[in-house]
Amino acid sequence: MHETNVNNVTDNKNTLLNTETSDQTQSSAEIAHHGEDAVNAGLLHPDLLVPGLEANGKIEVIKHLIDRLHEQGVIDDSLAFLQAVLERENLQSTVIDEMIALPHARGRMVKRLGVAIGTRADCSIEFPSGDERHDVGIICLIAVPADAPGLYLKLIGVLARAFSDRAFVDTLIATQDAPQMHQLLTDRLEICGL
């Protein structure tokens, strides 16, 4: 259906990383506070995974995933987080490989590192970004605590590596079961260094 372009994934990942250059300092305390413990404590909780996403359009999908983050206690102010995500989206495209979007925001409304992921097998989620329009099949909404900017850099790198594998992307998009999706993601992210 879509051909994965590893160079495109890498280029867009590097562009995303370069926009966060002021946030590149990562302390060991930050990792200890949010890093491995956050992963083990539910970074990829099955309730944050939405296979066969029914919401349409960029904002509707983001709102749906924000609701999941709020329900799981990742964020405590849905409206403030939505505003932060949309402000970040206005700065630069977060679409990589034409079919994967990585919208994200960092702020005090984020209580712990979290990722909500929605998929649609037909890759028909409209995700405009700037002057470009994309139809994506995977949206990973990333919530980062205000005091943990380095974690975003690590996480975006791991996600970009994970999504550079076309077979993995195809399998993930086709999965219609949250526990199975959770297992696929957990296994793949472990291989990619998370």
CATH number of the domain to which 176 belongs: 3.40.930.10
Q: Give pTM, 2 decimals.
A: 0.80
DSSP lists the bridge partners of residue 144 as 106
Domain count, the chain: 1
pLDDT value of position 15: 44
| E strand segments, 33-113 | 49-50, 95-96, 100-101, 104-107
Q: What is the domain range of residue 56?
A: 6-191
34, part of any domain: yes
1, part of any domain: no
The C-alpha atoms of residue 136 and residue 120 are separated, in whole angstroms, by: 8
37, part of any domain: yes
pLDDT value of position 40: 44
Task: Please count the other Cβ atoms lying within 10 Å of the Cβ belonging to residue 39.
Answer: 18
Q: What is the CA angle 159-185-94, rounded to 5?
A: 30
pLDDT tens over the chain, length 194 residues? 444 343 444 444 444 444 443 333 333 344 334 444 444 446 789 999 999 999 888 999 999 999 999 999 999 999 999 999 999 998 888 888 879 999 999 999 999 999 999 999 998 888 887 777 889 999 999 999 999 878 888 888 889 899 999 999 999 999 999 999 999 999 998 888 76
The C-alpha atoms of residue 115 and residue 188 are separated, in whole angstroms, by: 15
How many Cα atoms are found within 13 Å in the side-chain-facing hemisphere of 105? 26
CA 45 vs CA 24, 65, 69, 87, 179: distances in Å: 27, 13, 10, 26, 9
138, part of any domain: yes
